[in-house]
């Protein structure tokens, strides 16, 4: 029987739980916790720490071809805090991800073409919203 070969490209270079802000699922937990951080209460220091976390997250997403994990980070970030309670730790993380997004070497047209179906669905949604609003206001928007 021939051995199945798995290429380097097909295997993750690191596990998601290797990231310092991801807590591995333990007994009693339904899943990994993707935003397990402890703010230092020093806003500037927290921003610096999480800019590093942002870089590590981006590196993970690129190396593992997994941009979708960002959703888990952000949803768990939102679940971790109540009301307007936020810290530099979230700001630094999101700022780094935002900076990376706007400095992306791929033109927006490439991303839109790659996701054309999704883009068209979103545009239809907004077009329908405008039509509904025009109907509701008698043609005045």
Distance CA 98, CA 24 (A): 26
Q: What's the predicted TM-score (pTM) here?
A: 0.63
- The distance of Cα 127 from the centroid of its chain, to the nearest Å, equals 27
In this model, does residue 2 exceed pLDDT 60?
Answer: no
Q: Cα(first)–Cα(last) distance of the chain, in Å? A: 69
In this model, does residue 55 exceed pLDDT 50?
Answer: yes
Residue 74, judged by CB atoms within 10 A of its CB (0-12, 13-18, 19+), counts as: middle
pLDDT given at position 19: 92
pLDDT given at position 3: 46
pLDDT given at position 1: 45
Distance CA 9, CA 62 (A): 12
Percentage with pLDDT > 70 across the chain: 75
Phi/psi of residue 23, nearest 5 degrees: -100, 125
- Under the banding of pLDDT at 50, 70 and 90, the label for residue 84 is low
Give which of 106, 86, 42, 45 is closest to 53, Cα–Cα.
45
In this model, does residue 5 exceed pLDDT 50?
Answer: no
List the domain boundaries for the chain. 15-105, 106-136
pLDDT digit string, tens, across residues 95-138: 888 888 877 766 666 666 766 776 677 677 777 777 777 777 77
């Amino acid at each position: 029987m021939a051995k199945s070969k798995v290429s380097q490209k097909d295997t993750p270079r690191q596990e998601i739980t290797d990231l310092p802000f991801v807590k591995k699922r333990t007994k009693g937990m339904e899943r990994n916790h993707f935003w397990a951080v402890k703010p230092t209460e020093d806003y500037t220091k927290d921003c610096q720490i999480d800019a590093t976390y942002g870089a590590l997250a981006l590196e993970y997403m690129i190396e593992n071809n997994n941009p979708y994990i960002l959703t888990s980070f952000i949803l768990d970030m939102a679940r971790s805090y109540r009301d307007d309670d936020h810290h530099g730790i979230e700001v630094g993380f999101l700022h780094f991800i935002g900076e990376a997004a706007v400095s992306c070497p791929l033109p927006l047209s490439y991303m839109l073409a790659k996701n054309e179906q999704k883009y068209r669905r979103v545009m239809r949604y907004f077009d329908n919203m405008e039509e509904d609003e025009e109907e509701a206001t008698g043609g005045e928007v």
